[in-house]
Amino acid sequence: MSRVVVVSNRVPDPRTGEVAGGLAVGVHAALAGTGGLWFGWSGDEGAADESPEVLVHEGIRYVTLDLSQEEIDGYYNGFCNNALWPLFHYLLGFLKYDRREFEIYLRVNARFARTLLPRLQPDDIIWVHDFHLIPLASELRRLGARQPIGFFLHTPFPDYDVLRALPTHREMLRGLCAYDVIGFQTEPDLHSFRNCLDAADLGTIEEADRREPSRLRASPCADVYPIGIDVDDCATRAVESVTPRPEKTMASFGGRALVLGVDRLDYSKGLPERFQSFERLLERYPEHVGQLVLMQIAPPTRQGVRAYAEIRETLEQLAGNINGTYAQMDWVPIHYLNQGVERARLLGIMRSAKVGLVTPIRDGMNLVAKEYVAAQDPEDPGVLVLSTLAGAACELDGAVLVNPYDLDGVADALHQVIEMPQAERRRRHEAMMQVLRRNDVHAWANRFLEALRGQHVDA
């Protein structure tokens, strides 16, 4: 079977033991099966001309590059996180475009291609992840790579009227069209992509094709591949870790019902609106005052980007104000933790929470929603309150769906689910578990790789 080569912005360090997150789990299984290669940024700063570090761990070859400070600023903090991230999340108010950063983004992609090319074997299949690496396929093709190259976008893909706010949107679309297979999280993302191709009228792609000696194509094979989780792993870890630690956590809340939010600290996750909705709940349904605790776990990320420092400040102020207004001697409404939590412990806390509150204002999928469901006790499950603007809402119709901008609507939903009868909670949970098992992370990776293998010239 062809070797799988995965390329992603960051590559996890296998020496730390923990393979975090859904992407890493799915990709890891696919790589382990074929003695694969995982290529990307080490996460460290270093001279741009240094050769990559190679580490072989359990049959997988990890090849990582350092980036120079200029590259980190221009490519990662700059074009990726100041332009593409807000653009793809429909949040144009956060969009910052700088032509120099775009050029550095292209340069980093070209450097990735040059470093990767000599390490490729003719019958490899190459799976590229996320918006950081959109131009990688065309760079590899320019250098003569003929292997099938696939791309999976973890974020949403925006409608054309949003996409065209980016001055270089045509270059980005052209970059995507150099892939053989493109995967999106949901049908609406795929639909937007197709509309964008039509609207941008990329006839010029074909011209480019004729000039390229390689196999650039005008219409890549695009489809929906919703990312999933390792359901049994989540459930097992949740059960194992629920005693004794989260019991202690619960004891510290005096046995009160827990409403739980778990997110990277990111402005797309709807955290200020979430805190305000909780405040609205206490205002409009005073019977919950002193009875419910909102625990929000949100470790800081992308600290080199200004908007992330700002969201952190906003949240600290909001939590302070709400706690200041409502706190009692032995109770504070919002327990806000600005830190990561070890995975097993996190799943244990999820299992102890009566409500999983997942209300991004835009999200490609949202794995926390899926992990929360998998972590529940099937006999007495908690309820997932989920934003209609998360990709996960396309699959998890057993959740109570809310619009995160509608603070009263979220407050009403919280009030409703706290009293939800056990039979209804079980029915909803069972329906969602069926979806999670059908579309788990292994099914996701296998389906994508199968499509990619089908593109092999000799297949």
Interface with ligand ADQ, residue 383, by CB under 6 A: no
Nearer to ligand ADQ, 137 or 346 (CB): 346
The rounded distance, in Å, linking the Cα atoms of 113 and 348 is 41
List the beta bridge partners of residue 45: 67
Q: E strand or H helix at 440, and its extent?
A: none
CB of 105 to ligand ADQ, least distance (A): 19
- Tell me if 4 sits within 8 A of 31, measured CB to CB: yes
Query: CB neighbours of 188 closer than 8 A, spacing ≥ 6?
Result: 156, 394
- CA 22, distance to chain mean position in Å, is 9
For Cα atoms 120, 121, 124, give the angle at the middle one, nearest 5 degrees: 90
CB of 375 to ligand ADQ, least distance (A): 10
- Residues 314, 340, 426, 453: which binds ligand ADQ (CB under 6 A)? 340
Neighbours of 10 (CB within 10 A): 16
The rounded distance, in Å, linking the Cα atoms of 124 and 120 is 7
End-to-end CA distance of the chain: 11
Interface with ligand ADQ, residue 155, by CB under 6 A: yes
Interface with ligand ADQ, residue 188, by CB under 6 A: no
Known active-site residue 191: no
Residue of 230, 363, 412, 440 marked active site = 363
Window contacting ligand ADQ (CB under 6 A); options: 192-200, 205-213, 261-269, 327-335: 261-269
CB of 360 to ligand ADQ, least distance (A): 8
Site for ligand ADQ in 119-138 (CB under 6 A): none
Nearer to ligand ADQ, 276 or 338 (CB): 338
Cα dihedral 153, 159, 164, 165 in deg (nearest 10): -90
Interface with ligand ADQ, residue 189, by CB under 6 A: no
Under rule CB under 6 A, how many of the chain's residues touch ligand ADQ?
21
Interface with ligand ADQ, residue 367, by CB under 6 A: yes
The rounded distance, in Å, linking the Cα atoms of 381 and 375 is 9
Site for ligand ADQ in 286-315 (CB under 6 A): 297, 299
Site for ligand ADQ in 9-68 (CB under 6 A): 21-23
- CA 233, distance to chain mean position in Å, is 19
Known active-site residue 363: yes
Residues marked active site are found at: 154, 363
Which residues form the interface with ligand ADQ (CB under 6 A)?
A: 21-23, 154-155, 227, 262-264, 297, 299, 340-341, 346, 363-368, 371
